[in-house]
Structure 1
Amino acid sequence: MKSSNLCCFVLALGAILSAGLQAAPADKAHVKSTTELLGNIVAMKTVKGQGQVPVMAEYLAQKLLAGGFAPEDVKVERFEDTAMLVARYRGNGGKRPMLISNHMDVVEAVPSDWTRDPFTMITENGYHYGRGVYDNKLDVALTVSTLLQLKSAGFMPSRDIILVFSGDEETDMSSTKVLSTRFPDAEFLLNGDGGGGTLSTDSKAVVYGLQTAEKTFATFAISVSNPGGHSSRPRKDNAIYQLAAALQKLAAYEFPAQSTEQTRASFRFTGRQIGGELGNAMLRFADNPQDADAIARIAADPEYVGTLRTTCVATMLSGGHAENALPQLATATVNCRIFPGVAVESVRARIAEVIADPNAKVTEVGEAFASDPSPLRDDVFQAVRKAVDANFKGLPIVPAMSSGATDSLYFRAAGIPSYGVSGAYVRPEDDYSHGLNERVPVSTVARGLKHWHVLLTELAK
């Protein structure tokens, strides 16, 4: 789940420099081969139930083997109906290993809804289009391609660099749970599915988000049941109508706005850069988190609403069993992203209170999972600083809290500090991850290659 929401405290407040001050472009041949790799894996329909994640894992494994990785260091492991890829770039053992996390699966895309075939990468108007081209296959391609380049150049790292690619991050993260237990000696993890650079509307760099934390991911089911009956004999206790009424109440409800010293500092920084009505609202909120008008303005922007509060939204519906029968059961799936420090049970209880219908049961689906923020390591920050400078010298870096869950959630819980360090630089209005016509600027391939090359060589020198 790619997310670019910026939160937590401001780490650097350097002057923002335009694209004119970025470093020299990456090698054209490397950009071309990486773009081809990206197109090839986008073409693999790695949606749950399609059986294509193992195909993609094997494809990447063969790329790594052909690039000089030893057979014993590249493993594709089938897991339920998906697969995991683990590949070890061996170092000299001077330092503990570092992990690189990405996920190979993508969310569903219905071709008839898209302007273009979602599983064919199409390049036009300065963008690459396709499902997963941003979330998360871009950084899959960038990291694999970077390691192959380093292997070709004979780079000997001071530590093992281990790829840990999961196969079901967009669903239940079962493979992630397994991977997170396999490397107790790892010093830290770099995640391509978090963090990244934010561009302004005119494509100038604004800030780089270093993901150090994420909100708790929790799913609830709201269910209404009754005896049903023949459709020719309507009754007031119709399960679908009752569920619809409950959802209307939930839709109208907003959880209280919350803040920390770190989130207020972040809004203060971002507000100065954005300016205008939204920027002014951020500054007012930073000074007074009880400012209702400021809260309303920030919450109206999908890019920042997740940094303000716990959010819950209906995502799926099911109900009824026959077209000529009254429904006996109607259920809605509600997904919540819970502000750090808020108990999952308190959110479930609040939903039930808001609905205020004793016939509507609110139950947790699966098991919510939370982990503490990762401590900000100086070596990681300094490496990110140099990687960001390779594209936009002096660009401010702000630790970020993702509104969505990533694989880092489980690695953090396993005691492995994890950092979202995507090589992507995108405008908020171009973030169509999980949506129609997902796209990423063509320029981000070259920028991403420079980013990952500097990042990895700095942390493994």
Structure 2
Amino acid sequence: MKAPRALGPAAAAALVFCAGIGMAHAGSAAEARPETMAMLKHAIGIHTVQGEHQVPVLAAYLADKLKAAGFPAGDVEIIPVGETAALVARYRGTGEGRPILLSGHMDVVAAKRADWTRDPFTLIEENGYLYGRGTADMKTAVVVLVETLIRLKREGFKPRHDLILLLSGDEETTMASTRELAKRYHDAEFLLNADAGGGTLNPDTGKPALYQIQAAEKTYADFRIGLTSAGGHSSEPNNDNAIYRLARIIDRVAGYQFPPLSNEITLASLRALGAHTPGPLGAAMTRFAARPDDAAAAATISADPAYVGQIRTTCVATMLNGGHALNALPQSASVNINCRIFPGTPVDSVRDTLVKVINDQSATVTVLPPPPVESPASPLRQDVIAAVTAAVHARFPGVEVVPGMSAGASDSMYFRNAGVPSYGIDAAFTKPDDTFAHGLNEKLPASEVEAGLEFWHRVLVQLAK
């Protein structure tokens, strides 16, 4: 998962990696980091999409790289989980502190070649960007984490804490491998997740605006609202039409807005965003950060799709199903309601609210599997904030570093649920909505490879020493 960056819209030749790295134009990522780019090229080329059974292939490739760099075979493990797998690599320290977990995922969202301008599974460097499925979400970060551990091994770094790399294999789908990892590795000091947080560039100037440490994320839950009726011949319509009744229910859900909520993380985030967002929206952010009971400010923020999820639980219809024949009255109809639930809000209370809103005792409201995972916000650890701030300022002095909350879900939620404080610290700085993660022609600024390697090295040395 890569959620859109928090700062929204308000606020010469191509290098194609095919059989080999090839010739790079001056200043290219391949020229600067040939070993890293060769690994990334190989990783992008593996179709780690659900159902293609290729995640274990990537896991084996990365495991071989780690072992070749000196990691004992007993410290590198591939955990099969159905058709996918997780990869675990332990960088052993002196044992003076509990382990620090490093999180990422190897799977990617499906991509059709016919829809893309370029082959999604061939890494291409063009006009300062790296194109390919997984460049932004999140094979680049996975390769950077692996390369950083290899660099530390070469340097002979002896941390106080073990560093344990945990790469899941189905974060984009069922998260079964994530649940297995959280079950095995929950006795830890904290977790650093390369799949969340990160820096935002001003969309107009390209200059760094701010950096967010993801310290909270919303709970993901799907509710199915279902109706049944006797049906009958379509030539004899009646008032007991399941589709019509469901349409009225959907209108009620669409018209309902959950009340505004806040915590120290979202208020700090909105305070910083307000300073970088022009016009009424920025002013509303500033007012809400000062007074969360400001209804007018909440209304202005909620009117923007990019920000409504920062101050409210949101529920939206995403899928419909109804009827059984073209010439028959429907015997059943249902709608899926996808909810992103504010931290600290029980899932059952959201279900109870939906039951009241739809106001139809004949309707069933069912929580769909897998069971939602409540993910409490993580405490704002000063050692993590200081290390990340130092790494950010080494590249962009003075850029504000603030906590943030993701409206989407990541692997961190299972670790937070297990009591492990978790922090999203993606190294990349990007413009809002510029990477097209999960979408067509996914890309990442090529500069973020080198920057990511330096960022993660600085952070890990400071936190684990």
Smaller-chain TM-score bracket: 0.7 to 0.9
Q: Residue 55 of structure 1 is aligned with which of 54, 57, 69?
A: 57
CA distance 1:203–1:56, change in 2 (3 Å): same
Q: Residue 228 of structure 1 is aligned with which of 213, 218, 231?
A: 231
Secondary structure of the structure 1 residue equivalent to 2:52: coil
**Which residue in 2 is equivalent to 1:200?**
202
Distance 1:48 1:120 in 2: 18
How much has 1:267 moved relative to structure 2? 1.9
Cα deviation code 1:258-317 (max 9, x no counterpart): 234553343222212223332122123234434444333322333322111001122333
Cα deviation code 1:352-393 (max 9, x no counterpart): 322233343221112221132222223222211221122212
Q: Which letter maps to 1:453?
A: H
CA contact (8 A) 1:315 1:335 kept: yes
Distance 2:303 2:440 in 1: 21
Q: Which letter maps to 1:47?
A: V
Secondary structure of the structure 2 residue equivalent to 1:96: strand
Which range is displaced more, 122-131 or 234-243? 234-243
Q: Which letter maps to 2:67?
A: L
Secondary structure of the structure 2 residue equivalent to 1:423: coil
Q: Which runs of 5+ in 2 are unaligned?
A: 8-26
CA contact (8 A) 2:268 2:403 kept: no
**Which residue in 1 is equivalent to 2:46?**
44
Which range is displaced more, 248-257 or 197-206? 248-257
How much has 1:210 moved relative to structure 2? 0.9
Structure of higher RCO (CA pairs closer than 8 Å, 6+ residues apart)? 1
Cα deviation code 1:164-202 (max 9, x no counterpart): 111122223222122112234422211111111111112
Cα deviation code 1:92-144 (max 9, x no counterpart): 33333211111112233344444444333333333223333222222112101
CA contact (8 A) 1:6 1:401 kept: no
CA distance 1:455–1:54, change in 2 (3 Å): same
How much has 1:153 moved relative to structure 2? 3.2
How much has 1:233 moved relative to structure 2? 5.0
Q: Which letter maps to 1:277?
A: P
Cα deviation code 1:18-63 (max 9, x no counterpart): xxxxxxx999756343233333323322222221221221121122
CA distance 1:319–1:308, change in 2 (3 Å): same
CA contact (8 A) 1:4 1:194 kept: no
Secondary structure of the structure 2 residue equivalent to 1:429: coil
Which range is displaced more, 165-174 or 226-235? 226-235
CA contact (8 A) 1:217 1:405 kept: yes
Secondary structure of the structure 1 residue equivalent to 2:96: coil
Task: With the length of structure 2 as denominator, give the TM-score of the two structures.
Answer: 0.87
Secondary structure of the structure 2 residue equivalent to 1:428: coil
Which range is displaced more, 167-176 or 239-248? 239-248
Q: Cα RMSD over matched residues?
A: 2.6
Secondary structure of the structure 1 residue equivalent to 2:395: coil
**Which residue in 2 is equivalent to 1:350?**
353
CA contact (8 A) 1:4 1:198 kept: no
Secondary structure of the structure 1 residue equivalent to 2:97: coil
**Which residue in 2 is equivalent to 1:404?**
408
Q: Which letter maps to 1:78?
A: P
CA contact (8 A) 2:220 2:340 kept: yes
- The answer to whether the aligner puts 1:213 opposite 2:211 as a matched pair is no
CA distance 1:386–1:287, change in 2 (3 Å): closer
Distance 1:26 1:191 in 2: 27
CA distance 1:325–1:443, change in 2 (3 Å): farther
- The answer to whether the aligner puts 1:447 opposite 2:425 as a matched pair is no
CA contact (8 A) 1:218 1:364 kept: yes
Which range is displaced more, 206-215 or 154-163? 154-163
The alignment of Structure 1 onto Structure 2 pairs a total of residues equal to 444
**Which residue in 1 is equivalent to 2:304?**
301
Q: Which letter maps to 1:309?
A: R
Q: Which runs of 5+ in 1 are unaligned?
A: 8-24
CA contact (8 A) 2:347 2:372 kept: yes
Secondary structure of the structure 1 residue equivalent to 2:267: helix
Within-5 A mapping of 1:38-437:
38-201=40-203, 202-231=205-234, 234-260=237-263, 262-366=265-369, 367-437=371-441
CA contact (8 A) 1:4 1:195 kept: no
**Which residue in 1 is equivalent to 2:3?**
3
